[in-house]
């Protein structure tokens, strides 16, 4: 079906007739009709309810199609790899990776527990039960779960007002694990993981970089040989270090520096040389062995040791002291956010590398169950570790069996090896922590952000600075606040482009991006690159008024007019309009009508068109001013743009002039469809008359 309009844009070409009173010739313009959804609007109560009903219908049909195996896979993701486990191909790499990461996990767990202000045994407990539980309920086959430096710092910070040697401190750390687990499970079941997407990656990068400095300085006391005040701010830490400089001891400093150097060299060799990859995981174990051997041989009195560690598996106990829940809620949310952004991100990357799909909400649920079960066996909050997960992947882990083997290694260490851990130097554990957090300092990200996006670099710098100088909570709040502010600003001030036609085509693009694109006098084509809703209607309205007033004549073509007669809104990028947007469009139409300006819209999607139709806006502007393509709208609008500057033309009826008009008319009729389809540019084509231009004669420029 086609709608034909009578074109007056070629009125200077008179009809093929010798009559003195010749009538202007018209050229048919083919326009694709836009289907108006009035029938749908009458039968459908609302677009949002229709969308909700469709989503519910899809979910219902999906549930009906699920078999028993699908339900088992949903609640026990481990069944996916258990059913298809290839013992011949997967067992050896799973065992090797499980043992490798397990050996790495044991000393790291004790180190991170000390960072959290807990006894080393609680780090070992945290590396036991959550690892087993995650292997069953987690969907990632390479993610290594357990204590991590950043979460340990958060635990230490929120419990800083309590005595770390008391039972209440330990009970609150375990209670925090339960709260984090409940939050993660709730968000996973309700599929609310998308909420954390509003926290920019640059905010997390700045936060972790600043936290790395804080963590490293908090471990300085084990290198220096004297106590340093506990704080999440860098200035009190530095002041405390300087104030106690007269108590400095060389023995722990030299031993700690030596062990740290060994770990860093082994990590570097493991990263850069494939045949020495095993050294990367062996660094923490080497630190423990070297430190223990030195203490056993020389018995230095100035080096503090780990001390007594209970032997055996953790007993079952339910967390207590629920009266402190309210004060722990902010940190629980923060740890949950770190788990979503870091752990789920790592898990997705590893899943993509190993060729299987991963549901982020299922992953969040698995982490939550691991923390809930861990809290019942004296574990503090755990999450996925980037360094251990990378080692697990590089060691060849294929399934969750590697995680089970990690748990077995930890259980054996608790059951049989705790007496050996009593003589581990504290500076060796501190060296393990410092070597781990060095990787959190993300200078490369800062350089990248500076080159690519100054706004994101600003977020990175502000978050890092506030975290360093004002503390963790304020740093995160400031970073998230600026991140949301940028999101709101971009949403309330969307990108709006004036479109022009690319020569020789029917394609219309941003004239700022494509300087060769040209526009038409009397017509403004505007593309709004966002949903239109209450927050950005005023901005869009102001920009449209600005485009009406500021008329650039440098690349204009068409009738020589001094003002705007038509505003064409390209609505393809507009995914949604609300009632405020509709009201604004109606007000804009009234303003334009009072100044003899007509609005036309092109290519709205189904939901947007339905909303505009139900609101009466389509009837207000007229159905004939709704188009499928911008080019259709331009063709129709050009017919109605007056050319007041052209002098009246008196037809010449002489034979020579008649033959010239006849030839011109014939060439135009033959090329009209070709010009409108954009198959050639008449300004450069050799087969068509050079004085013709798509839709308009060249002299109208």
- DSSP letter for each residue of 202-261: HHHHHHHHHHHHHHHHHTHHHHHTS-----SSHHHHHHHHHHTGGG--HHHHHHHHHHHH
Question: What pLDDT shows up at residue 64?
Answer: 76
Radius of gyration (C-alpha) of the chain in whole angstroms: 35
Strands 144-146 and 383-385: antiparallel
Of 149, 134, 121, give the one whose Cα is nearest residue 413: 121
Residue labelled with tokens 């010749």: 22
Tokens of 297: 């041989």
Q: Is 190 helix (H, G, I), strand (E, B) or coil?
A: coil
Is residue 182 within 8 Å of residue 372, measured between CB atoms?
Answer: yes
Residue 324 has a CB neighbour count (10 Å cut-off) of 17
Q: How many CA atoms lie within 13 A of 467 on its CB side?
A: 28
Closest CA to 508 of 632, 600, 675, 606: 632
Nearest-angstrom CA–CA distance, 149 and 142: 19
Model-level pTM?
0.74
Q: 10 forms bridges with which residues in the sheet?
A: none
Structure tokens at 423: 């003589």
The confidence score (pLDDT) of residue 320 equals: 80
Other Cβ atoms closer than 10 A to 518: 18
What distance in Å separates the CA atoms of residue 695 and residue 501, rounded to the nearest whole number?
12
Would you tell me how many other CB atoms lie within 10 Å of the CB of residue 24?
Answer: 15
Strands (E), 307-422: 383-385
β strands within 491-557, DSSP E:
496-501, 508-510, 519-520, 523-528, 556-557
> What element of type H or E holds 29?
strand 28-31
Q: Provide the phi-psi class of 385: left if phi over 0, else alpha when psi is between -120 and 50, else beta.
A: beta
Indicate the pairing of strand 556-557 with strand 519-520.
parallel
The reported pLDDT for the residue numbered 644 is: 55
Q: Is 499 helix (H, G, I), strand (E, B) or coil?
A: strand
Helix axes 360-375, 345-354, angle to 10 degrees: 120
**Cα–Cα distance, 617 to 619 (Å, whole number):** 5
Q: What pLDDT is stored for residue 668 in this prediction?
A: 44
Identify the residue whose tokens are 């609150």.
172
Who contacts 640 (Cβ-Cβ below 8 Å, separation ≥6)?
8, 565, 566, 598
Helix (H, G, I), strand (E, B) or coil at 627: strand
- Running DSSP on this structure, what letter comes out for residue 650? P
Low pLDDT (below 50) residues in the chain: 1-26, 39-45, 47, 647-659, 661-662, 664-666, 668-701
Do 116 and 152 form a contact (C-beta atoms < 8 A)?
Answer: yes
Judge contact between 126 and 147, C-beta under 8 A.
yes
Question: Cβ distance 339 to 180 under 8 Å?
Answer: yes
Residue 257's CB is within 10 A of a number of other CB atoms, namely: 13
Cβ neighbourhood burial of 395 (10 Å; 0-12, 13-18, 19+) = buried
Rounded to the nearest 10 degrees, the angle between the axes of helix 345-354 and helix 386-394 is 10
Judged by phi (left if over 0) then psi (alpha if -120 to 50, else beta), residue 616 lies in left
* Six token digits for residue 625: 């001013």
Give pLDDT, residue 37. Answer: 60
CA neighbours within 13 Å on the CB side: how many for 545?
A: 12
């Amino acid at each position: 079906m086609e709608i034909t309009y009578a074109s007056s844009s070629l009125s200077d070409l008179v009809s093929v007739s010798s009559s003195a009173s010749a009538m202007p010739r018209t050229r048919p313009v083919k326009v694709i009709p836009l289907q108006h959804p009035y029938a749908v609007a009458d039968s459908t109560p609302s677009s949002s309810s229709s969308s909700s009903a469709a989503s519910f219908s899809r979910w219902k049909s999906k549930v009906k199609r699920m078999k028993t195996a699908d339900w088992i896979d949903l609640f026990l993701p481990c069944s996916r790899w258990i059913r298809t486990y290839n013992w011949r191909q997967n067992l050896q790499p799973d065992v090797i990776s499980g043992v490798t990461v397990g050996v790495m996990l044991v000393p790291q767990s004790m180190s991170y527990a000390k960072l959290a202000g807990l006894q080393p045994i609680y780090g070992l407990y945290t590396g036991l039960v959550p690892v087993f539980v995650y292997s069953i309920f987690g969907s990632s086959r390479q993610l290594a779960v357990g204590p991590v430096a950043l979460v340990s710092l958060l635990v230490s910070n929120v419990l800083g007002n309590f005595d770390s040697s008391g039972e209440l401190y330990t009970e609150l750390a375990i209670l925090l694990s339960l709260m984090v687990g409940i939050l993660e499970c709730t968000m996973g079941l309700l599929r609310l993981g998308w909420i954390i997407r509003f926290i920019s990656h640059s905010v997390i990068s700045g936060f972790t970089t600043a936290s790395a400095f804080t963590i490293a300085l908090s471990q300085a006391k084990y290198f220096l040989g004297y106590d340093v005040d506990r704080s999440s701010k860098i200035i009190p830490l530095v002041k405390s270090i300087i104030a106690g400089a007269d108590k400095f001891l060389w023995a722990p400093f030299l031993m700690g520096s030596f062990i740290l150097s060994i770990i860093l060299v082994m990590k570097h060799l493991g990263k850069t040389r494939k045949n020495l990859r095993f050294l990367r995981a062996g660094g923490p174990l080497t630190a423990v062995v070297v430190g223990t051997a030195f203490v056993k041989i020389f018995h230095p009195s100035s080096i503090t040791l780990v001390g007594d560690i209970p032997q055996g598996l953790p007993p079952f106990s339910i967390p207590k002291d629920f009266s402190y829940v309210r004060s722990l809620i902010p940190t629980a949310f923060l740890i949950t956010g770190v788990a979503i952004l870091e752990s789920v991100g790592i898990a997705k990357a590893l899943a993509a590398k190993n060729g299987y799909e991963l549901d982020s909400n299922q992953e969040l649920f698995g982490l939550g169950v691991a923390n809930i079960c861990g809290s019942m066996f004296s574990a503090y909050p755990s999450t996925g570790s980037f360094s251990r997960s990378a080692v697990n992947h590089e060691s060849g882990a294929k399934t969750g069996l590697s995680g089970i083997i990690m748990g077995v290694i930890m259980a054996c260490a608790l059951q049989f090896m705790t007496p050996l851990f009593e003589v581990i130097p504290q500076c060796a554990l501190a060296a393990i922590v410092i070597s781990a957090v060095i990787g959190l300092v993300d200078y490369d990200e800062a350089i990248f952000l500076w080159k690519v996006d100054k706004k994101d670099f600003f977020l990175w710098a502000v978050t890092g600075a506030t975290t360093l100088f004002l503390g963790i909570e304020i740093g995160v709040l400031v970073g998230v606040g600026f991140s949301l502010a940028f999101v709101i600003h971009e949403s309330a001030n969307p990108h709006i482009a004036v479109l022009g036609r690319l020569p020789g085509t029917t394609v219309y693009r941003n004239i700022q991006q494509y300087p060769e694109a040209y526009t038409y006098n009397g017509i403004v084509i505007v593309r709004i690159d966002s949903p239109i809703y209450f927050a950005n209607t005023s901005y869009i309205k102001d920009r449209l008024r600005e485009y009406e007033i500021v008329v650039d004549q440098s690349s204009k073509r068409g009738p020589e007019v001094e003002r705007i007669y038509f505003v064409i809104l390209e609505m393809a990028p507009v995914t949604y309009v609300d009632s405020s947007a509709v009201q604004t469009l109606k007000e804009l139409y009234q303003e334009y009508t009072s100044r003899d300006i007509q609005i036309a819209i092109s290519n709205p999607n189904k939901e947007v068109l339905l909303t505009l139709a139900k609101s009466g806006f389509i009837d207000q502007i007229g159905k004939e001013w709704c188009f499928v393509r911008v080019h259709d709208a331009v063709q129709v609008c050009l017919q109605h743009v007056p050319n007041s500057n052209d002098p009246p033309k008196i037809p010449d009826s002489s034979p020579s002039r008649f033959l010239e008009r006849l030839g011109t008319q014939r060439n135009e009729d033959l090329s009209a469809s070709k010009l409108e389809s954009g198959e050639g540019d008449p300004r450069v084509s050799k087969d068509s008359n050079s004085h013709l231009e798509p839709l308009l004669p060249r002299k109208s420029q």
